[in-house]
Amino acid sequence: MNGTTTMNGSKTMNGTKTITALYDRTEDAQSALRDLQNMNISRDNISLIASDAAGTYSHDNGNGISTQSDAAEGAVAGATFGGIGGLVVGLAALAIPGIGPVLAAGPLASALIAAGIGAGVGAVTGGIVGALTEMGVSEEAAGYYAEGIRRGGTLLTVHVPENMSKQVMDVLNRHNAIDVEDRVSQWRESGWQMHDPNAKPYGVDEIESERNRYTGERMRV
């Protein structure tokens, strides 16, 4: 699972594949998004979920669920988020059980909203793991991605024709996609076993510490 992965390995649906990449730095994910846009990949085929532990893009309505899902507020979030609103569709600030506040966009955001996140229900069975497995990701890999977001990461998924999959994987890897298998091995060395949807979300300081552990430099949350 070096850098990007095709969901379920060689899983192909109607001649298309969905490719997934996890990033420590949201800035790297944004750079990858811009390259994807330059490849004329439809924004409708790209999903993004980024940790928002600092609350920069979301606000709490008192029930642990953010309310920033309408078009106007989503546009504001996009403008604040370095112009990312022009690269993906359906920006929404959500709260995911076991992960905490996130900024989400694209088909994954739609799936999470449809499942009830952001609608005031407080929790959704499976959370992001359930949404990813519905898209064809193995439950094991989905748990790794969910844990990566919990620890401050940004997840990109891209749905493309099969003949473009290698080109897209090269683009995503070029922008410092995490080697997920290597990262999971390091988590396990610290005692981590599997993603827990009931776990306490990481705070800003914990995320900064986590990032510094792998990058050796301070990064903005």
pLDDT at 71 over 50: no
Biggest CA pair distance of the chain: 47
Q: What does the chain come to in residues?
A: 221
Asked if pLDDT for residue 10 goes beyond 50, the answer is no
Q: pLDDT tier at 200 (50, 70, 90 boundaries)?
A: confident
Split at pLDDT 50, 70, 90, the class of 91 is confident
**Is the distance from CB of 99 to CB of 50 less than 8 angstroms?**
no
Opening angle at CA 15, ends 9 and 19, nearest 5: 40
Amino acid present at 140? E
Domain ranges for the chain: 5-214
Q: pLDDT: is 131 or 171 the higher one?
A: 171
Lowest mean pLDDT, pick from 90-99, 118-127, 143-152, 166-175:
118-127
C-alpha distances (whole Å) from 171 to each of 24, 33, 36, 64, 145 are 16, 9, 8, 36, 19
Q: How far is residue 16 from each of residues 42, 138, 165, 176, measured CA to CA in Å?
A: 13, 17, 8, 24
137: pLDDT strictly greater than 90: no
Q: What percent of the chain has pLDDT over 70?
A: 70
pLDDT attached to residue 6: 46
Q: Which of 28-32, 41-45, 94-98 has the lowest mean pLDDT?
A: 94-98
